[in-house]
Amino acid sequence: MHSLIPFIPGSINDTLSSIPFFLPEIYLTVLFILVLVTDLLFGRNSEKLCRIIAFAGLLLVIQRDYQQISLLFVSGRVNGQFLFGEMLLLNRVAINFKLIIDALAAIMVLCFEWDNRLKAHRKGLSDLYSIAIGSVLAVHLMTMAVNLLSIYLAIEMVSIASYLMVAYRSETRFSAEAGLKYVLFGAASSAIMLYGISLLYGFGGSLNLFSGNLLPGLMQANPLAVALALGLVLIGIGFKLSFVPVHFWVPDVYEGAPTPVTAWLSTLPKIAAFALLINFLRPFIYFEKWNGFDFKLVLSIIGIITMIAGNFAAVLQKNVKRMLAYSSIGHTGFALMAVVTYNSTGVAAVIFYLAVYGLANIGALALATYFANALDADDISSYKGLGLKHPAASICFVIVLISLTGLPVSAGFTGKVFVFSSVYSVYQHDHNIWLLLLMITGALTTVVSLFYYIKIPLNLFLKRTEILKNTFTKSQNVVVFGVFISVLIILLGIWPQMLSDLL
């Protein structure tokens, strides 16, 4: 105990100096408590107030995110600042990921009440808003985690919030089953990852990825044992990314969860997991003496298999949410292409691609909510003949699906061009066969995605049904939201610098 006393002043000074760089997370903590207390004070009548507080608080957090950029420049830490004993790393990449996450979170907070099935919950939505803010705080930590301990804790925080959100409508059998499956798969992946972390700590004697003896220690250990440990850690990260082979939970959970929760799970944790993967890979890539586990080879193979499995499985789906679940797996594999490049261009391409993917995916699921509200339509075949009866929502649905496919002139097309360009520029230099295979697979699976995305416009406008249910809910808010998302997708497709200038 006495041996630790000399280190206490330095630890206190490090903590105090880290606080100015941690203000968005402090604001999120205060916002979480504020929404929670509001719910406790006003009960079921607090829904609207909790939603307003959560939305306004997230806008304030976005403003604090931007202030962090200038703070890094003013303090002379352009390359990044380690926080709290090198547990976290704040740099421009992390800030960009946080900006995307906070913007999408603010949008989705508004969407929760638009789902009639979720809104009919006897407990109301106040609890869901506090869980959502807690989830945003957790994904913030994921974007900055650079210590194996902070990585594990951040993933667990996100997982706990996700479990609660998936099973929020626990009175329905399907939602309860989805929540249980998610917990079981999450617990298994968590245990596997923790075992991998313990092996890495045993080999290297440190949990810090950027300093200490971790990487030199791994170089001296048995290569097969190190490869096993790193593979186990990748499984834990891959659970959040939902790449093959840890993707089995996605279809059932996405279909069983309330649609706004599906939109949340398919965007925020996935985007944060990509930031975490980049942080995890960086020390191994830039450690000159590292010649062990070949991350480029492994991630290339995973990316190829994930693109093929996700897109071909989506073709067979009849349920809209299940189809979008498999398509999100395919998008994960596509984004891995740019991660494999290991350069700033690839990272910028990933950020842009994930931003426009998140926007389009939220739009698609919001419009799926519209048709579920109006006509209880969950399957693609139940969309027959609805295009002319609900033209605004149907046209918006087609636009967001065009973006998800990656067709001109949508933002999704621009994002895919950026990813292909980053991979091709690296391929020109080293002529790596796996990069070529990634590009070929990405192009072919983009064509395959047309076969399942086109099913929705086909049923909306080209197929007819004699019996149409009467609309019992117009959900005009969803239509206005769909128009906003569609216009934004087209604008970002024509002028991608609108988003690039903000990041």
pLDDT tens-digit map of 209-267:
887 778 888 888 888 988 899 999 999 999 888 888 888 888 888 888 888 888 898 89
pLDDT of residue 321: 87
Residue range 260-286: average pLDDT?
Answer: 90
| pLDDT value for 168 | 78
pLDDT interval class at 10 (50, 70, 90): low
Which candidate, 84, 115, 71, places its Cα nearest to that of 17? 84
Q: Confidence class of residue 271 from pLDDT cuts 50, 70 and 90?
A: very high
Could you tell me if 70 and 233 are in contact, meaning their C-beta atoms sit under 8 angstroms apart?
no
Query: What is the pLDDT at residue 170?
Result: 61
Asked if the structure places residue 121 within a domain, the reply is no
Whether 470 shows a pLDDT value over 60: the answer reads: no
Q: What is the DSSP string of 304-364?
A: HHHHHHHHHHHHT--BHHHHHHHHHHHHHHHHHHHHHT-SHHHHHHHHHHHHHHHHHHHHH
pLDDT, tens only, 410-453: 899 999 999 999 999 988 888 889 899 999 999 999 999 998 99
**pLDDT, position 296:** 86
What band does 468 get if pLDDT is binned at 50, 70 and 90? low
Confidence of residue 467 (pLDDT cuts 50, 70, 90): low
> Poorest-confidence range of 8-12, 164-168, 364-368, 386-390?
8-12
Most confident of 92-101, 276-285, 388-397: 92-101
Residue pLDDT, tens place only, 106-145: 999 988 888 777 777 777 778 889 999 999 999 999 999 9
Task: Report which residue type is found at 346.
Answer: G
So what's the pLDDT on residue 429?
A: 85
Residue 498 lies in a domain: yes
Looking at every residue in the chain, the average pLDDT score rounds to 86
Q: What integer pLDDT is reported at residue 311 of this predicted model?
A: 92
C-alpha 94/C-alpha 78 separation (Å) is 12
Statement: residue 29 has pLDDT above 90: yes
What was the pLDDT predicted at 41?
Answer: 84
Q: Residue 8: its pLDDT value, please? A: 64
CB 129 within 8 Å of CB 109: yes
DSSP 3-state assignment of 79?
A: coil
**DSSP assigned state of 118:** H
The span from the CA of 445 to the CA of 334, in Å, is 9
Residue 392 resides in a domain: yes
Q: What is the pLDDT of residues 285-331, one digit of tens each?
A: 876 667 777 888 899 999 999 999 999 999 988 888 889 989 999 99
- Count up the domains in the chain and report the number: 1
User: Given this model, what pLDDT does residue 291 score?
Assistant: 73
Digit-coded pLDDT (tens) for 151-163:
999 999 999 998 8
pLDDT of residue 157: 92
Q: Domain containing 415: what range?
A: 294-503
37-66 pLDDT tens trace: 988 887 767 788 888 999 999 999 999 998
Q: How much is the pLDDT for 61? A: 93
The CA-based angle 360-251-154, given to 5 degrees, is: 75
Q: Which one is predicted more confidently, 13 or 132?
A: 132
- Is the pLDDT at 1 greater than 60? The verdict is no
CA distance 94 to 145: 10
Structural domain includes residue 143: no
59: which residues sit within 8 A by CB, 6+ positions away? 106
Bridge partners, 83 (sequence order): 88
CA angle 89, 289, 421 (to 5 degrees): 65
Q: Is residue 228 part of a domain?
A: no
Beta carbons of 141 and 152 less than 8 angstroms apart: no
* Banded pLDDT at 5 (limits 50, 70, 90): low
Q: What is the DSSP code string of 408-465?
A: TTSHHHHHHHHHHHHHHHHHHHH--HHHHHHHHHHHHHHHHHHHHHTHHHIIIII---
Q: Is 386 a domain residue?
A: yes
Tell whether the model's pLDDT for residue 96 goes beyond 80.
Answer: yes
Q: How confident is the model at residue 2 (pLDDT cuts 50, 70, 90)?
A: low
CA dist., res. 30 & res. 319, Å (int): 39
Token pair recorded at residue 345: 């261009």
- Note whether residue 496 is domain-resident: yes
- Vertex 483, ends 478 and 485: CA angle to 5°? 90
Three-state secondary-structure class, residue 82: strand
Residue 96 lies in a domain: no
